[in-house]
Chain A
Amino acid sequence: MPAYRPPRIAASEITPNAVYLQRREFLAAGAFGAMSLLSTHRSEAAALSTVSSAYKVDETPTSREDVTTYNNYYEFGLDKADPAALSGDFKPLPWAIKVDGMVGKPGTFDLEQLLKDFPIEDRTYRMRCVEGWSMVIPWNGFPLAALLDKVEPLGSAKYVAFETVVRPEEMPGQKSVFQSLPWPYVEGLRLDEARHPLALLAVGLYGETLPNQNGAPIRLVVPWKYGFKGIKSIVRITLTDTQPVNTWQAANAREYGFYANVNPAVDHPRWSQATERRIGESGFFNAGRHPTLPFNGYADEVASLYAGMDLRTNF
């Protein structure tokens, strides 16, 4: 069985980021200007100008390498390495998000404009996957609440529904004979959850625009919930008065709920949620197991949202 071995690259051989970012100018300036046109179709990380924020967990961030090569994004394939390997054809720009439903000012928002309207914050969050592994990720983004304020939700709106793009020609997992899930991938939050300051619309990580495999160009991050709530490549947000069904709940309601709050006391029917393997820390001879914390360590901030609720039945 062939195994992939990452090449060893000496630090001296790595092009400095500033030089790398100028490569198009270099090409355009030369006689091979046409070549730069070819590169416009590829998605490439671009630096974001960001502001700092108070939302930073005091833990070592997972390496950029691990964050961008170990992904669950079934639109590109089921294997953790598939999204990085098979998302090269995906075109994240231009991009627009339609916001509709029970809002005073529905509209379609161009991503470039949103990036100008809102300051992009640096936020380092824990990320806990329902499968039992976790990371610490330095995201860049703006609060979901900021976008919701723009559209003025009506008093009758109780929930927010999200939808991922459907592009079989660019997303191999949506095109293959064997379909793992029905598309589009959908998710939902209660409006008060969506308005919580921790709920983030991420447009980048490690100070650069999101790679395709991480949900380019814009994705949801709700750090106190399991990772599958963080819907990627969002094209539509709908305010509604009925609780939306999310993709995983529709696939298996016994195992995945609407809330999906991280909870070490409520096991997945097929595996324990009491501990997690921290990616990067867990070497071959060191399982790197951490105890899983209620609400993924964000209980002080979010537990009040669920006061009086039975978290065993509302899992």
Chain B
Amino acid sequence: MKPTLRSSLKQWQPTLVWLTYAVGLAPAVWYFYLGATGGLGADPVKTFELFLGLWGLRFLILTLAVSPVRDLMGWNFIAYRRALGLLCFYYILLHFTVYLVLDQALDVTAVLNDTLKRPFIMFGMAGLAMLIPLALTSNRFSIRRMGAHWIRLHRLIYIIAACGVLHYALSTKVFSMEQLIYIGLIIALILYRSGRPILRNRKPRRYLTTSP
């Protein structure tokens, strides 16, 4: 059989997954370089912090979009979903680290006070805390060992997405157009997931067939 585009993509898949990580982390490296060399303007820490949070949201959206894109357009990026999800985790972890170390200068009391008193920080912290078990179980071994529990655990991503949206929406003085687009996308993806079992019943066994 002649190699099709699909099969040659499959052959390169491991490389492409690693490339996803490399390309995905490039914005953080680039902005860190700009920040360290005075290229991020008047308020570099805030700019970097916001930038990392936004990229976290972007990878969250991409992670959640894998299933709808497969259902609606027939493009299958499932092999990249773990990379996208972990990139989301890395960016949110960096976002938190910059807040703790560069913004609050390791003032743990101030960070704890903020977390307990301010809903938007509470939502952000809750989202990060829930991302940790998902990141720790993002490997073949955990999937095999946990079986159905793994799927149930990883549904947490929808709660995390809701926390992310609230954290972002409550963090600014007024809503910007950009913010409304992110919020709208995440709400749409959560709604799609909650409506998905119905779609599934209509087309049974579609995802159980393996490609030859």
**Which A residues are within 8 Å of any B CB, using their own CB?**
1, 3-6, 65-66, 69-70, 74, 78, 80-81, 130-131, 133, 176-178, 180-181, 248, 251, 267, 269-272, 274-275, 277, 279-280, 282-285, 287, 289
Q: Are A66 and B118 in contact (CB under 8 A)?
A: no
Query: Which residues of B104-152 are within 8 A (CB) of A?
Result: 104-105, 110, 113-114, 117-120
In Å, the complex CA distance between A74 and B172 comes to 13
Q: Are B45 and A282 in contact (CB under 8 A)?
A: yes
By beta carbon, the residue of chain B nearest A287 is B105
Interface status of B1 (Cβ within 8 A of chain A): no
**Which B residues are within 8 Å of any A CB, using their own CB?**
27, 30-31, 34-36, 38-46, 48, 51, 102-105, 110, 113-114, 117-120, 170-171, 173-177, 180
By beta carbon, the residue of chain B nearest A268 is B118
Q: Are A80 and B43 in contact (CB under 8 A)?
A: yes
By beta carbon, the residue of chain B nearest A251 is B174
In Å, the complex CA distance between A3 and B38 comes to 12
Q: Are A270 and B42 in contact (CB under 8 A)?
A: no
Q: Which residues from A are CB-within-8-Å of B171?
A: 270
In Å, the complex CA distance between A271 and B113 comes to 10
Q: Are A284 and B176 in contact (CB under 8 A)?
A: no
Decide: A272 near B43, CB < 8 A? Known: A180-B174, A180-B176, A251-B174: no
Decide: A277 near B102, CB < 8 A? Known: A78-B176, A272-B114, A284-B36: no
Q: Which residues from B are CB-within-8-Å of A181?
A: 174
Q: Which residues from B are CB-within-8-Å of A275?
A: 110
In Å, the complex CA distance between A270 and B167 comes to 11
In Å, the complex CA distance between A271 and B119 comes to 10
Decide: A285 near B102, CB < 8 A? Known: A78-B174, A270-B170: yes
